Structure 1
Amino acid sequence: MHSQTQLKQRAEATWEDARVRRESCCAPREQVAAVMNGSRAPVWDHVIEALLAGFHDQGAGEAYLTRSVRGIAAYAPSPHIQVEVIERLSVTSVAVLWQDATRCRYADQVWISCRARKKGRCALSGAVIHRDDFIYKPRVRSAIPANANAMILASVIARMPSMA
């Protein structure tokens, strides 16, 4: 009878340990300290709790459904960007001054003409660019520029008095 009591106490202690670990895994830091005493706290619970704390917010599961900032930035003109076409280099290329207070500055960047592969916005006029419209985009060589996704409508450049 005495051994059954000890066995029952040991089983209850094991169940209590499991309950404390479950509660501490998903509880805020203040509750973890209140629930667990120092002798029973596993070494890595505080690390795992800190890493996973951000994933218990409401709506966090639907975060993948929202559009990425990079995708939104490709369609929205930014107040931080200053774009100026400096000169026409050839029939298919122009030199552009691109100043972005938040990312980059290119004083004499070469842009080449092509057809748009995706929908976007003109960096000069803010007009919507549809797939297969004639555009100018930054020339990519060995290093990809920070404004590689930017586009300027070819019709906007053609209407500029200095480019005629």
Structure 2
Amino acid sequence: MMHSETHLKRRVEASREACCAAAEQADTTPDGRRASVWDHVIHGLLPTYRSAGGEASRARRASRMAACVPSPHVQVEVIERLSDTSVAVLWQDATRCRYDDQVWIVCRARLKGYCALSGTVIRRDDLIYKPRIRASTPANATAMILASVVEQMPAMMAAGD
């Protein structure tokens, strides 16, 4: 029994030394300084594109389109018409954000996407509502609602009525 414990300890120590040596080499920056643990964490969290630029571009477009696809986690409701060009929206997303009375403004779609209310495909230059961006970009900044869907909703009172 003693022999097997000693053998096991030697194997653990040898693997720990090999592991630590590899980690020490990986923990250095190109100029020889030690990299922080947070550098490794952030590096692991950021997307990496090891392939050619065209493939990276397609991956970014695909992720942008995936962000626009209606999710079962999202509840969207137009609460109030604020003016001819703006509405207040309740946006609840269990996975990303919640806005109780977010102001959305009317404009033309710059990209293809999906209506957050109806799921209908939105083409470039369609009239849409999108979140108004002020000091900081909201988590649902890429979301869109077709203006025609809002116009078909039961009459809402404008803020001044």
TM-score, normalisation: structure 2: 0.63
Q: Distance in 1 between matches of 2:96 and 2:102?
A: 15
Higher relative contact order (CA 8 A, sep 6+): 2
Asked whether 1:100 is paired with 2:93, we answer yes
Q: Does the 8 A contact of 2:68 with 2:142 survive in 1?
A: no
Asked whether 1:89 is paired with 2:66, we answer no
Asked whether 1:114 is paired with 2:91, we answer no
* One-letter code aligned to 2:59: R
RMSD: 3.3
**Large movers: runs of 4+ above 2 Å:** 41-51, 60-70, 72-75
User: For structure 1, which segment, 41-50 or 89-98, has the greater mean C-alpha deviation from structure 2 after superposition?
Assistant: 41-50
- 5+ residue gaps, structure 1: 1-29, 52-59
Q: Distance in 2 between matches of 1:75 and 1:43?
A: 44
Aligned equivalent of 1:140, options 133, 142, 145: 133
- C-alpha distance 136-65 of structure 1, shift in aligned 2 (>3 A): closer
The SS at the match of 1:89 is: strand
Instruction: Give 1:117-128 correspondences, 5 Å limit.
Output: 117-128=110-121
The SS at the match of 2:111 is: coil
Asked whether 1:161 is paired with 2:154, we answer yes
- Name the structure 2 match of 1:6: none
Q: Distance in 2 between matches of 1:115 and 1:72?
A: 17
Say which one has the larger Rg. 1
- Name the structure 1 match of 2:23: 46
- 5+ residue gaps, structure 2: 1-10, 28-39, 41-48
* One-letter code aligned to 1:100: D
TM-score, normalisation: structure 1: 0.62
The SS at the match of 1:84 is: strand
